Structure 1
Amino acid sequence: MTEDTGFRIKGWHVLAGFVGAFGIIIGVNLVLAFQAVRTFPGLEVKNSYVASQHFDDDRAAQEALGWTVQADARNGMVYLSITDTAGEPVRARDLHAVVGRATHVKEDVEPEFLFDGRVYSAPVHLGDGNWNIRMTAVAQDGTPFRQRVVLHVE
C-alpha cells in the first residue's frame, strides 16, 4: 500500500519548471552575448574583400624586408627590437604600436616608442599575463610593415 501525501504535480508546476529552466538559459545567453559585443575591439579593415586583393603583394613586400621583431618588458619599460637579416638594428621611418590584452581593449595604450640606436623603448607598466603589441611601421624605402607581437609578462 502507498500512502497518499496529497501532493500532485499539476500543469502549472510543469509550466513553472519549463519557464524557470528556459529563463535561466536565455538569461545566461543574453549576458554572454552582451559581454561579447561590449568587449569586441572592432573592425580591422573596412572591407575585407578589398584588403584581400592586396594581401599577397603586401606580404611579399614585408617579407622582402627580412625584419625580425622581438619584444620584452621589464622595470616598467617595453622594448621592441627590430633587426634585419644580418642581425643589425633597424630604424623605421615611422613606428606606431598599440599595447593591449588579446581579449579586450579596456587596457590598450599607445606608447611613444623612442629609438636609441639599438632598440625602441617606451615606459609602459604592464600587469602579469599575455599582452599583444599591434605594431605598424614604415621602412625607409616606404614599405609598410605590420606585425602582432605576443609579449608574456611575469
Structure 2
Amino acid sequence: MAKELTGKHVLLIFVVAFGTIIAVNLTLAFNAVSTFPGLEVKNSYVASQHFDERKAAQEALGWIVAGTHEAGQLRLTITGADGAPVEVAELQATLGRATHVADDLEPNLVFDGTAYVARLDIDDGNWNIRMKATAQDGTEFVQRVILDVIR
C-alpha cells in the first residue's frame, strides 16, 4: 500500500532538490573564483588605446613562436620571417596552467643558437608559456604559447 503524498512531502522534495542545486552552484562558483588567476591588465580601456599600434609592430617582426617539452627540456623556438632563429634582446617567460596560477614558474631560458631552452620537469597536460620578448630594435613582442605536454 502506497503512502499518501502530502504537502509536507512535496515541500521536502522541493527543499532537497533546490538545496542540492544551490549547494552545487555555490561550490562551483567558489572554486572558480578561488582559482581565477586574476586580471590581464588593470584597465582594459587604456590598454586598448594602443592595441592596433602594438599589434602592427609585433606583426612587422614576422616572428613565429612555438613551444615544446620533451625529455625534461622546455624549448621555446622563435623564428624570423626568413626562417632563421631569432635571438632577442630580452626575454621574460612564465610557464603555467591555463586555469590557475598555483603551478606557475619562471624557467631560466637560455639561447642555444636555435632556440631558448631550460631543463624542466613538468606534469602532463595543458600549459601556457606567457612570454614577453624585446627585439633588438626595441619592439615589444607579447604572446601566449600553448604547450600540450603528453608523455
Instruction: Give the TM-score normalised by the residue count of structure 2.
Output: 0.94
Cα displacement (A) at 1:7:
2.8
1:91–1:115 contact (8 Å) kept in structure 2? yes
The residue that corresponds to 1:40 in the other structure is 36
* Matching residue of 1:120: 116
Deviation for aligned residue 1:60? 0.2
Tell me by how many angstroms 1:6 deviates: 7.6
Larger radius of gyration: 1
Question: Could you state the TM-score of these two structures normalised by the residue count of structure 1?
Answer: 0.92
1:88 to 1:22, Cα distance in 2 relative to 1, 3 A: same
Partner of 2:146: 150
Amino acid at match of 2:115: V
Runs (4+) of structure 1 moved beyond 6 Å?
A: none
- How large is the Cα RMSD of the aligned pairs? 1.3
Deviation at 1:9, TM superposition (A): 2.1
Partner in structure 1 of residue 125 of structure 2: 129
State the partner residue of 1:92: 88
Change (3 A) 1:91 1:6: closer
Structure 1: runs of 5 or more not aligned? none
Pairs within 5 Å for 1:2-81? 5=1, 7-81=3-77
Tell me the secondary structure at the aligned position of residue 83 of structure 2: coil
CA distance in 2, matches of 1:83, 1:106: 31
* Residue 130 of structure 1, CA deviation: 2.0
What residue identity is the alignment partner of 1:142?
G
